[in-house]
Amino acid sequence: MTKRHADVLVTDDDDGIRSTVAAMLRAEGFDVIEASDGDMALEMLEEHQVDVLVLDIRMPRMDGISVLDALEVPPVVLLVSAFSMDEEIRSRTSGKVFRYLRKPVAPGRLIGFVAEAMGEAKVRSAEG
Amino acid sequence: MAVGPVGPRTRLNGQPKGVTTDALHVEGLDRVVAARVMGVVYVVCGGAVAVIAAAVPQPAGSNLAAMEGICISGVVLGPLVWMLPWERWPRVATLALAVVALGFISGFDAASAADGFRYGLFDVVVFAWVGLSQARGTSVALVPFLVAGYVGPLVAAGHGWDSATASVFYAVPSCIVTGEAVAWMADRLRRTQGELVSAQEALVQGERLSAVGEMATVIGHELRNPLGAVTNAHYLIRSSLGDPEQVEQYLDVAEREVTRAVRLAEDLALYMRERELERARVEDGT
């Protein structure tokens, strides 16, 4: 099955955050899809070729760390949390996360990080 | 949290406000309890000795009727001692019970025509009670009464400087050592109890602070989501000023998220108020 393409998958259980982040990124011209928990994110990653994954850590059912555990080769990941990310989280997700971001992330910075991550995705794609 | 030495502010369970462990150190066992213990000693010792004295042959020169009279006096006095309003009188008043007890023993010695040390065990019991119920050093203050009660019957019976009279030199130290050892142990026990109460209070206070801190941390983190959404909505409103419909949509988002943040702050305030009320209830014992 051919996967559909999406620039960014925004995964957050908080409606306010998810919808506004998606709207900001769409306004910048990114093709954005949304998921409200880890299970849904994995399903969407099955169906879509995603360049950048904006992933919240604390979510019901399946959290962000478990999503990363389930992905052998994840997209370029921006891992986001309202809590500070300790050494345990960093060591467990090491090699799979492009940037660790703490909420709230200023809109301009977030857009900048996503653009940077898109550049990284292009580099990885070129390297094969 | 480190627990310091028992300070003058430490209070024991059931102890009225203002009474400290330092005060307990000075005063010893509660005076009503102390008096009642001595009342029980009067009844038990008086009753036991009355039965034994009647059951066994007594030495020549003894006066069994006087011996039994003294014992029965103790048995009768015991309940009276129990009922007296000791809480109205100063602690020193309970010392009279020790003096009366030494008087009973002395009288019994005289009536039984026995050597002083034969019933010396009862002197030791009296001094153990003194150690338990009075401040350290009180045993020494009672020595004149002990010597008079111990030697008096011997002198009255015609003893001179003999082994019976000389036994006062080990009877008195034995009583003092017993009284002071019990006082020292009771004092240590009270101090340990005070330290335990102090440690428990520190633990409860630590848990209380920990719970409040944890709650504040959780609320602080929970506030990050609505604040982030409001920031994003503000950004979107600024970039959508030409589109009233979108502005309206993001204003709704901002309003909803601000309401959510306010609710979180109210939850925290409510939680703090409930904890304050709970603490006040615990302190009042209601």
Mean pLDDT of B166-176: 92
Q: Is the minimum CB–CB distance between A115 and chain B shorter than 8 Å? A: no
Residue in chain A lying closest to B236 (CA): A24
Reported confidence tier of residue A22, pLDDT bands at 50, 70, 90: very high
Q: Is the minimum CB–CB distance between A82 and chain B shorter than 8 Å? A: yes
Q: Which two tokens stand for residue B70?
A: 């003294």
Residue in chain A lying closest to B221 (CA): A82
Mean pLDDT of B220-238: 90
Residue from B193, B134, B208 nearest B13 by CA: B193
pLDDT at A118 over 60: yes
Percent of chain B's residues with pLDDT above 70: 88
Task: Record the pTM.
Answer: 0.54
Sort out which chain A residues have CB atoms less than 8 A from B260's CB and list them: 16
Residue from A113, A106, A115, A33 nearest A79 by CA: A113
CB pairs under 8 A between A and B: 54
When CB atoms are compared, the residue of B222, B224, B232 closest to A20 is: B232
Mean pLDDT of B191-209: 89
Reported confidence tier of residue B230, pLDDT bands at 50, 70, 90: very high
Residues in chain B: 286
pLDDT at A104 over 70: yes
- Give the Å distances, CA to CA, from A13 to A39, A66, B71, B177, B232: 11, 15, 86, 76, 16
Sort out which chain A residues have CB atoms less than 8 A from B222's CB and list them: 82
Sort out which chain B residues have CB atoms less than 8 A from A14's CB and list them: 225, 229
Give tens-digit pLDDT for A36-87.
Answer: 999 999 999 999 999 999 999 988 888 899 999 999 889 999 999 887 778 8
First to last CA, chain B: 28
Q: How far is A126 from chain B (nearest CA, A)?
A: 33
The position carrying tokens 């992330």 is: A105
pLDDT at B180 over 60: yes
Q: Residues B71, B53: contact at Cβ < 8 Å?
A: yes
Mean pLDDT of A89-116: 91
The ipTM is 0.86
Q: What residue ranges define each of the domains in chain A, with the CATH number in brackets? A: 4-127 (3.40.50.2300)
Reported confidence tier of residue B28, pLDDT bands at 50, 70, 90: low
Q: How far apart are CA B151 and CA B126, in angstroms?
A: 17
Mean pLDDT of A20-40: 94
Round the average pLDDT of chain B to a whole number and report it: 84
| Type and span of the H or E element at A4 | strand A4-11
The position carrying tokens 């509660």 is: B30
Reported confidence tier of residue A125, pLDDT bands at 50, 70, 90: confident
Sort out which chain B residues have CB atoms less than 8 A from A21's CB and list them: 232
Contact B227 A14 (CB under 8 A): no
Please give the pLDDT value at position B23. Answer: 40
| Strand A99-102 to A76-81 pairing | parallel
Contact A21 B232 (CB under 8 A): yes
Reported confidence tier of residue B116, pLDDT bands at 50, 70, 90: low
Sort out which chain A residues have CB atoms less than 8 A from B227's CB and list them: 104
Reported confidence tier of residue A111, pLDDT bands at 50, 70, 90: very high
Contact A16 B235 (CB under 8 A): no
Q: Residues A49, A76: contact at Cβ < 8 Å?
A: no
Q: Is the minimum CB–CB distance between A60 and chain B shorter than 8 Å? A: no
Q: Which of B218, B225, B239, B246 to mutate to test the interface with A (most CBs of A within 10 A)?
A: B225
Residue in chain A lying closest to B249 (CA): A20
Residue from B176, B143, B271, B283 nearest B217 by CA: B271
Q: Is the minimum CB–CB distance between A43 and chain B shorter than 8 Å? A: no
Reported confidence tier of residue B11, pLDDT bands at 50, 70, 90: very low
Q: Is the minimum CB–CB distance between B193 and chain A shorter than 8 Å? A: no
Contact B253 A19 (CB under 8 A): yes
Cross-strand partners of A102: A81
Please give the pLDDT value at position B285. Answer: 62
Percent of chain B's residues with pLDDT above 90: 49
CA A88 distance to own-chain centroid: 20
Long-range contacts of B252-258 (CB under 8 A, 24+ apart): B253/A16, B253/A19, B253/A20, B253/B229, B254/B229, B254/B230, B256/A16, B257/A16, B257/B225, B257/B226, B257/B227, B257/B229, B257/B230, B257/B233, B258/B226, B258/B230
Q: How far apart are CA A16 and CA B231, in angstroms?
A: 11
Percent of chain A's residues with pLDDT above 90: 73
